[in-house]
Chain A
Amino acid sequence: MARYIANKLFYTLISLFILISATFFLMKAIPGDPFMSEKKVPPAIQERLYEQYGLNKPVYEQYFKYLGDIAQGDFGISMKKINQNVTDIIKDTFGASLKLGLVSIVVSVIVGVALGLLAALYHRKLIDNVAMVLAVLGIAVPSFVVASLLQFVFSSKLHWFPTMGFKGPMYYFLPVAALSAQPIAFIARLTRSSMLEVLHADYIKTAKAKGLRWYAILFRHVIRNGILPVVTYLGPMTANIVTGSVVIEQIFGIGGIGKQFVQAITVRDYPVIMGITIFYGALLMIARLVTDIAYGFVDPRIKLTGGKGD
């Protein structure tokens, strides 16, 4: 196990390096720079800004300098948010996204798995159809529509929740509802599909034949085996959700990392783009690693092996 994890971590580091390199050159290939504006500043000032931020050097030199800096743990300072550390910017914006994201994930998994399980147990019955229609609606209605409708109904008309901001528990409800709609739908369908398979599997029949009680079968066999695809999906979904949804953050006025990222790209704030990319990449890779390990626990048939194929 230890060897397995060490091995995976090594791969992750290499991946991060490739990710950094690819993103860096990609970013530099796009037209524009942090100091462009509709009203151009005089060339002398522009030149000085380039010089101060090292943008006047050849791209490969900038690249090696950047690698050197991050090797020392220095993610640099923003080129647009004057004198603000990239790490501080990530810390500030990620906080909001993380809180919102974690709540959404918990809600999604509980509601999604419950819906999917019900649908599978009552396959082709009314409950199945209702659950699936609900699930499909969650997918069929775009998140910006869901968010706007929620905002209209629950804050404009009913005045139950505030329209915007992120200052306390009441501010969670609407964004969480809007954020979880799609994952709930996805998880519900994934669960239903996979539970159906499990329910038809021979070992379930065997278990039934053995006279095991239904809840024992359900919890010991059905859920444990049927939840695998959800676990697979959970890794990237977690990374996805906690890194923020631009649309939801914009509509509800939450200063999250998703909004920050899009904004950094729009204004070509290079250090922030890189910082968030690395952060996001690392998060994603760790989430996937954890998923792989979790697989081993959920399904004993999957063996975790070191480097070599089996």
Chain B
Amino acid sequence: MEANQSSGISTPADLKPDDFRKIGTDEKQAEIIQRESISSWRDAWQRLCTNKMAITALIVLLFIVIAAIVGPYIAKWVFNYNYYTNDLLNTNQRPSAEHWFGTDDLGRDMFVRTWMGARISLIVGLAAAMIDLFIGVIYGGVMGYFGGRVDSIMNKFSEILYAIPYLLVTILLLVVMEPSLPTIIIALTITGWINMSWIVRGEIMQLKNREFVLASRSMGAGSGRLLFRHLLPNAVGPIIVTVTLSVPNAIFAEAFLSFLGLGVQAPVASLGSMINDALTGWLYYPWRMLFPAIVISLTMLAFNIFGDGLRDALDPKLKK
């Protein structure tokens, strides 16, 4: 309302006490900051492109995602295999022209199963990581920024949640809800985000007394803006590291649930549960463990290298 008035250029003679306050809360001032940070995304992308390792990792990741999507169809078109039909006369076959990745203990084609498993694991890992990121960053940010009583209460709440036996929650969830992929993802994220929130909290606590925060606060930045425009972007390093770790964590947590019989239901399998199944005989049927393990490890490797690249590109402190 009043802001319109102050947009004009004034001579010193016109100065009134009111004008000083208005400039600080001016919407347009904030707009300028926002526009600048949009261009910093493009800037980050350009910096990412110069990082060969990161780009290679991104290509590998894309390749795995595409393979997870089309791999099962290829096997269907070429050989008419699917992930569930058993062939009990051809169990534990070595990789061959017919079965590119060999067959498993029920004679199922490992090529189809590996990519189906990759599909499941990627969905589980990515979905869980994104939910962890979303909840964890907001929760941790709020905790760290406000401090004091808000922090104490929210912190305690997360600790309680973290300490509640996770298995009990999962068992109950599976009783109440249909045992399906979304249920498992929910089970994984119920406590999964907490680690992220603690990391973010620690970072924010450390950052919020820095000079640049003080500066923008004295210029009148609101809490939300301070948190999302200044504090969080500066904590992006640990956040990205934690995200890239929460993907494998979710994938392996799912494998652990499978181990206890609470994971995805057979005949569908995730990479983790396939490795788990193959573990006892891996010396004799190495392909049953090797292919899923290679895909899972490659995914993680690519993820982490890309994450590092992203971190380097995004981190405002690394700008030169």
Is any CB of A less than 8 Å from a CB of B in the complex? yes
Q: Is the CB of A144 within 8 A of B279?
A: yes
Cα–Cα distance between A125 and B168 once the two chains are bound (Å): 46
Q: What total of A-B pairs shows CB separation below 8 Å?
A: 168
Interface of chain B, main secondary structure:
helix
8 Å CB contact of A236 from B162, B283, B311: B162
Q: Is A148 an interface residue (CB 8 A)?
A: yes
Could you give, for residues 213-254 of chain A, a 1 whenever the CB lies within 8 Å of some chain B CB and a 0 otherwise?
000000000000000110111001000000000110000000
Say which one of B99-107, B225-233, B301-309 lies at the interface with A.
B301-309
In the bound assembly, the distance between CA atoms of A172 and B152 in angstroms comes to: 38
Q: In the bound complex, do residue A142 and residue B252 qualify as a contact, i.e. CB atoms below 8 Å apart?
A: yes
In the bound complex, what is the Cα–Cα distance between A229 and B168 (angstroms)? 30
Residues in A with CB closer than 8 Å to B293 are 141, 145
- Determine whether B260 belongs to the interface, using a CB cutoff of 8 Å to chain A: yes
CB-based contact B256/A140 at 8 Å: no
Query: B191-204 CB contact bits vs A (8 Å, 1 = yes)?
Result: 00001001101110
B residues 134-165 touching A (CB-CB < 8 Å)? 146-152, 155-156, 159-160, 162-165
Interface pair B283/A152, CB less than 8 Å apart: yes
Q: Quick check: is A273 within 8 A (CB to CB) of the other chain?
A: yes
B241 to chain A, nearest CB (A): 5
Q: Are A19 and B160 in contact (CB under 8 A)?
A: yes
- From residue A34, how far is it (CB to closest CB) to chain B in Å? 15
Which residues of B have CB within 8 Å of A93? none
Contact between A136 and B300, CB atoms less than 8 A apart: yes
| A232 near B202: Cβ-Cβ < 8 Å | yes
Complex contact B164–A143 (CB within 8 A): no
In the complex, whether B222 has a CB less than 8 A from a CB of chain A is no
Instruction: Let me know if B238 and A193 touch, CB within 8 A.
Output: yes
- In the assembled complex, how far is the CB of residue B225 from the closest CB belonging to chain A, in whole angstroms? 18
- B96 contacts chain A at the CB level, 8 A cutoff: no
The reply to whether A307 and B152 contact each other, CB–CB distance below 8 Å, is: yes
Contact B163 A196 (CB under 8 A): no
Is A137 touching B297 in the complex (CB atoms < 8 A)? Answer: yes
Inter-chain CA distance A54–B225, complex, in Å, is: 55
Contact call B206/A302, Cβ cutoff below 8 A? yes
Which of the candidate stretches A24-32, A39-47, A70-78, A107-115 sits at the interface with the other chain? A24-32
A201 at the interface (CB under 8 A from B): yes
- What A residues does B71 contact at CB under 8 A? none
How far is B276's CA from A136's CA once the two chains are assembled, in angstroms? 20
- Chain A minimum-CB-distance residue to B311: A193
**Which chain B positions have C-beta within 8 A of A137?**
297, 301
The reply to whether B301 and A22 form a contact with Cβ atoms under 8 Å apart is no
**A280 vs B159: C-alpha distance when bound (angstroms):** 11
Q: Which residues of A contact B260 (CB under 8 A)?
A: 262
**Cβ–Cβ contact A142 & B255, under 8 A:** yes
| Partner-binding segment picked from B26-34, B87-95, B110-118, B169-177 | B169-177
Kindly state whether residue A132 has any CB partner on chain B within 8 Å. yes
Chain A residues contacting B312 (CB-CB under 8 Å) are 196
A97 on interface, CB distance cutoff 8 Å: no
* CA of A76 to CA of B305, assembled, Å: 50
* Nearest-Cβ distance from residue B289 to partner chain A, whole angstroms: 8
Q: Which residue of A lies closest to B148 (CB)?
A: A309
Q: Does A277 sit at the interface, judged by CB under 8 A?
A: yes
CB distance from B72 to the nearest CB of A (A): 23
Tell me the smallest distance from the CB of B139 to a CB of chain A, in Å: 15
Known A142-B272, A288-B155; further 4 A-B contacts with Cβ < 8 A? A19-B164, A144-B259, A280-B163, A307-B149
Q: Which 7 A-B pairs have the closest CB atoms?
A: A309-B148, A140-B300, A281-B163, A232-B202, A140-B297, A193-B237, A15-B156
